[in-house]
Amino acid sequence: MPPRAVAAAAAAAALLLISSAAVAAPDGHLVARLPGFHGALPSKHYAGYVTVDEGHGRRLFYYLVLSERDPAADPVVLWLNGGPGCSSFDGFVYENGPFNFERGSDPGGLPNLELNPYSWSKVSNMVYLDSPAGVGMSYSLNKSDYTTGDLKTAADAHTFLLKWFELYPEFQSNPFYISGESYAGIYIPTLADEVVKGIEKDLKPRINLKGYLIGNGATDHEHDFNSFVPFAHGMGLISTELFEDVSTSCHGTFWGTVNDLCQEKIDKVHWELKDLNKYNILAPCYHHPEIQELEFKNSSLPSSFRKLGETEKRFPVRKRMAGRSWPLRASVTDGRMTMWPELGGRSLPCTSDELANAWLDDEDVRAAIHAEPKSLIGSWELYTARIDYYHDTGNSMVKYHKKFTAMGYRALIYSGDHDLCIPYVGTEAWVRSMGYRVIDPWRPWYFGEQVAGYTQGYEHNLTFLTIKGAGHTVPEYKPKETLAFYSHWLSGEKI
């Protein structure tokens, strides 16, 4: 066949592929309008339910934002927030979603939505999943399903993915990554394990998993929960005298069952840290914007230091109040986990999620995104009180990371360097504990000709990275820098 004929045939095939992709997406899941947003969407949005258990009526809700660049070729990236029990609309509304949310003209009314120039959908197809059932918009008609844990959550999420790729066959060949933060440090490895096992069993459709990225993730008991004391000292939050005192009394173990003297010293450290925002020690703890302004006005910190924790988003980083990451300083240990709402209040007491609540509890919004009404599934909650959740996968995820990286899957482990919830020093320590050879020694990475953080690369496609001035929810605090390292890493470029 002549070259010109070959080119024409290839073009026709490509056009046919694009056409088939356009009709493959389920029409009933297309989001045609979004209350609060005025204008044309830069890419198509789809949302709806995937039933993972027909007998129980267990259904998981997702929201898909097609890539604004090249949806047919760009990676598909699943986003999971943590908790456990946190809706992934947390990430959609406040972090890397397609919109910035602003207060509406009426108090408590529908917020205004503007396009987010640093959305991860600039370079990838984003799937936000509410998981497990009982979280966010996901639900079950059999309430026994609300007693769950790591393994059941992973199995359901895997079932969701298999059925989702059947709904969207045009994406089956796209590179697939799993992403998330906080307790997703447990969600992601356990889900990845289900996916890998499914690939080994030749389950169809075959999921084209390429790797995963985890931000400030709960991973390893010893490293995560022994890191807050050295982090606090290194950040100048406790005195050297107290640091030496608690180190001597506790012999390097600052959580779990310890002797009375050690516990007394740990309690003193907690007392010194009690008024800090544990999610970002640079940010204030406050209930209203006026308090933030007052605290910044009266602060003796240099403005250059204070600005490290600020964001340029239209709506300020959501209101942090109490700021403890795990209830009553509890670590992530085997067995039933205490959920924040059990301690009082409807949602996580360190946040005021007025914009997300106002938008996702609006029945017109729910109809637009194909979510069930409040009469069936109740109000949307950032952190749900509906589920009984059991941590049942042991005290460390490091074994999963060793397995996946040894198999050739890519892994990016990133940390906001001012997070006291999961301090970067503990994350760096467990990454180093894997024993991999360093191939890209510790160095700064840059954004806008300024140091944006530090990174170190290891063999087996493992990368550790910090983000300067960011807290626990990195895309929320540093959206520009986050999109930069995310885009480079996805494309395999040097960060």
Q: What is the pLDDT of residues 373-426, one digit of tens each?
A: 999 999 999 888 899 999 999 999 999 999 999 999 999 999 999 999 999 999
Map residue 45 onto helix, strand or coil: strand
Confidence at residue 339, expressed as pLDDT on a 0 to 100 scale: 66
> Is pLDDT of 294 > 90?
no
> Is pLDDT of 100 > 70?
yes
> Is pLDDT of 42 > 60?
yes
pLDDT band at 316 (very low <50, low <70, confident <90, very high): very low
Give me the active site residues, please: 182, 419, 472
Of 83 and 237, the one with more pLDDT: 237
pLDDT band at 24 (very low <50, low <70, confident <90, very high): low
Confidence at residue 427, expressed as pLDDT on a 0 to 100 scale: 98
Write out pLDDT tens, residues 452-480: 999 999 999 999 999 999 999 999 999 99
> Is pLDDT of 315 > 50?
no
Mean pLDDT, to the nearest integer, of 78-103? 94
Q: Tokens 């509410």 map to which residue?
A: 130
Of 463 and 288, the one with more pLDDT: 463
Map residue 388 onto helix, strand or coil: strand
End-to-end alpha carbon distance in the chain = 44
Mean pLDDT, to the nearest integer, of 324-347? 55
Write out pLDDT tens, residues 381-391: 988 889 999 99
Q: Domains in the chain, start-ordered, CATH in brackets?
A: 27-219+356-491 (3.40.50.1820), 223-291+316-342 (3.40.50.1820)
Asked whether 404 and 208 are in contact (CB, 8 A), the reply is no
Residue 262: how many other CB atoms lie within 10 Å: 18
Confidence at residue 26, expressed as pLDDT on a 0 to 100 scale: 86
Burial of 415 (0-12, 13-18, 19+ CB in 10 A): buried
Element (DSSP H or E) covering residue 62: strand 58-65
CA dist 63 and 323 (Å) reads 28
Write out pLDDT tens, residues 50-68: 999 999 999 999 999 999 9
Map residue 53 onto helix, strand or coil: strand
Confidence at residue 18, expressed as pLDDT on a 0 to 100 scale: 40
DSSP strand pairing (112-115 vs 99-102)? antiparallel
Confidence at residue 327, expressed as pLDDT on a 0 to 100 scale: 40
Confidence at residue 104, expressed as pLDDT on a 0 to 100 scale: 85
Confidence at residue 247, expressed as pLDDT on a 0 to 100 scale: 97
Confidence at residue 12, expressed as pLDDT on a 0 to 100 scale: 43
DSSP-derived secondary structure for 190-230: HHHHHHHHHHHTT-SSPP-EEEEEEES---BHHHHHTSHHH
Mean pLDDT, to the nearest integer, of 282-288? 64
pLDDT band at 287 (very low <50, low <70, confident <90, very high): very low
CA dist 176 and 157 (Å) reads 14
pLDDT band at 198 (very low <50, low <70, confident <90, very high): very high
Of 78 and 288, the one with more pLDDT: 78
Mean pLDDT, to the nearest integer, of 136-165? 98
